[in-house]
């Protein structure tokens, strides 16, 4: 009798630990890593990448040790290594390292948890690959991310590059989590607090200032591209078609693209991916060809903007898409894919529809 009671007691004590162990094992199997493998890029080219850490000596930035504005730009470009198109390379390791540190500050879990979730993620972009000589020059697409995000868009950007574009992804310091010369730079504390408290007034106040800074980042990046184009030591020497520059942005980045392309004729075509903005309603006529790619519900005030500019703008609501569908959130595994409200339909089908609109639009205006 005593032995039987002891066995029952042991079962009561041990069973929860067994269940926890099973849950951990299942979670590791299902969610490590949290992203599904991205598909092979759709274009004819393999894709190379090169990361640049740049300092703008003309702008001050008290939050950095240099006292100057510093940003990263990561370039995705058509590569000569066609045989490497289907190979896998670590997905943006510098960025993932910073993301782990950022997530750990928000939700303090053991390091092995984040290593489990964010290790063994791969893309099809080969670091420092030789650039393709198939064409004399390639049109440029400058990309801007969402604000207060982790800048994870590689599956989209490498796919666009595989279709014959040099994609220049700007990483705005303090407004996104980035790895700046080996050091993690997180989100500005004021913005982080406003987002946490859902203080819309403070968020929009911050965004209004960031809007101006990002436009200055764009102008700075374009000046750097001109230097690359004329530098015999650069991988992009004589490869950049500076007469055909397009812009692509998600969320806040899309809002910035709308304003920049509204006012700057250097933008031949721009796409705002689900970025809410009212600034472009000030003009009666855009200086560039614009497309709004919106989630399936859209935004009333963008409909109003479209009415005022429908001769120069295209508006498309992507069926099944939610805000996260325009980033690599579209690769999240279930149940995270549902929890973070990425799509209401098959995510890969939604991703293909978005890419098709992006590539078709830029092919029309930049090639």
- Each residue's pLDDT, cut to its tens digit, for the chain (367 residues) gives 444 443 443 334 443 333 333 334 334 446 899 999 999 999 999 999 999 999 999 999 999 999 999 999 999 999 988 888 899 999 998 899 998 988 888 888 888 898 999 999 999 999 999 999 999 999 999 999 999 888 899 999 999 999 999 999 999 999 999 999 899 999 999 998 988 888 988 988 898 899 999 999 999 999 999 999 999 999 999 999 999 999 999 999 999 999 899 889 999 999 999 997 655 555 556 678 899 999 999 877 676 666 665 566 888 999 999 999 999 999 999 888 888 889 999 999 999 999 999 999 999 999 9
Burial label for 106, CB within 10 Å (0-12, 13-18, 19+), is exposed
Task: Identify the residue whose tokens are 């913005």.
Answer: 191
Q: What is the reported pLDDT for 340?
A: 86
User: What are the phi and psi torsion angles at 44 (to 5°)?
Assistant: -80, -15
User: What are the phi and psi torsion angles at 174 (to 5°)?
Assistant: 75, -15
Q: Long-range CB contacts (< 8 A, 24+ apart) of 177-181?
A: 177/95, 177/98, 177/99, 177/102, 177/149, 177/150, 177/151, 178/72, 178/95, 178/98, 178/151, 179/72, 179/94, 179/95, 179/97, 179/98, 180/53, 180/70, 180/72, 181/53, 181/70
**pTM for the structure as a whole:** 0.89
**Cα 287 from Cα 134, distance rounded (Å):** 31
Measure CA 112 to chain center: 25
User: What are the phi and psi torsion angles at 115 (to 5°)?
Assistant: -65, -40
* Contact (Cβ atoms closer than 8 angstroms) between residue 96 and residue 121: yes
- How far the first Cα of the chain sits from its last, in Å, is 85
CATH of 32-366, one of 2.40.50.100, 3.40.109.10, 3.40.50.10540, 3.40.50.1820: 3.40.50.1820
CA-to-CA separations, 264 to 260, 308, 334, in angstroms, rounded: 6, 19, 42
* Contact (Cβ atoms closer than 8 angstroms) between residue 329 and residue 152: yes
Q: How many Cβ atoms are within 10 Å of 92's Cβ, its own excluded?
A: 24
**Cα 53 from Cα 118, distance rounded (Å):** 24
**Cα 79 from Cα 294, distance rounded (Å):** 31
Q: Closest by alpha carbon to 357, among 274, 271, 299?
A: 271
**Cα 51 from Cα 74, distance rounded (Å):** 4
**Cα 59 from Cα 365, distance rounded (Å):** 33
**Cα 166 from Cα 135, distance rounded (Å):** 12
Cis peptide before 273 (omega within 30 of 0): no
Task: Identify the residue whose tokens are 């290593």.
Answer: 115
């Amino acid at each position: 009798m005593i032995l039987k009671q002891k066995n029952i007691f042991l079962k009561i004590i041990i069973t929860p630990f067994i269940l926890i162990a099973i849950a951990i094992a299942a979670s590791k199997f299902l969610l490590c890593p949290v992203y599904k493998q991205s598909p092979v890029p759709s274009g004819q080219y393999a894709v190379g990448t090169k990361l640049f850490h740049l300092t703008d000596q003309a702008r001050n930035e008290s939050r950095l040790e240099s006292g100057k504005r510093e940003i990263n730009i990561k370039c995705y470009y058509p590569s000569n290594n066609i045989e490497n198109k289907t190979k896998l390379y670590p997905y943006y390791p510098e960025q993932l390292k910073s993301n782990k540190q950022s997530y750990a500050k928000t939700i303090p879990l053991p390091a092995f948890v984040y290593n489990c979730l964010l290790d063994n993620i791969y893309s099809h972009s080969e670091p420092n690959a030789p650039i393709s000589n198939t064409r004399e020059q390639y049109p440029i697409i400058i990309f801007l991310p969402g604000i207060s995000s982790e800048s994870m868009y590689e599956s989209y950007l490498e796919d666009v590059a595989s279709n014959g574009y040099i994609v220049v992804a700007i990483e705005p310091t303090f407004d996104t989590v980035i790895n700046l010369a080996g050091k993690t730079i997180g989100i500005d504390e004021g913005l982080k607090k406003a987002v946490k408290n859902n203080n819309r007034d403070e968020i929009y106040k911050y965004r209004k200032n960031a809007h101006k800074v990002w436009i200055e980042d764009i102008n700075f990046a374009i000046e750097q591209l001109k230097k690359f184009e004329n530098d015999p030591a650069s991988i992009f020497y004589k490869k950049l078609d500076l007469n055909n520059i397009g812009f692509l942005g998600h969320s806040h980045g899309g809002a910035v693209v709308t304003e920049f392309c509204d006012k700057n004729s250097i933008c031949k075509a721009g796409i705002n991916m689900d970025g809410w903005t009212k600034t472009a309603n000030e003009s009666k006529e855009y200086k560039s060809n614009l497309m709004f790619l919106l989630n399936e519900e859209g935004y009333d005030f963008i409909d109003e903007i479209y009415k005022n500019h429908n001769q120069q703008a295209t508006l498309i609501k992507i069926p099944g898409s939610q805000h996260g569908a325009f980033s690599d959130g579209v690769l999240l595994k279930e149940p995270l894919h549902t929890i973070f409200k990425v799509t209401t339909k098959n995510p890969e089908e939604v991703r293909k529809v978005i890419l098709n609109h992006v590539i078709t639009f830029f092919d029309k205006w930049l090639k």
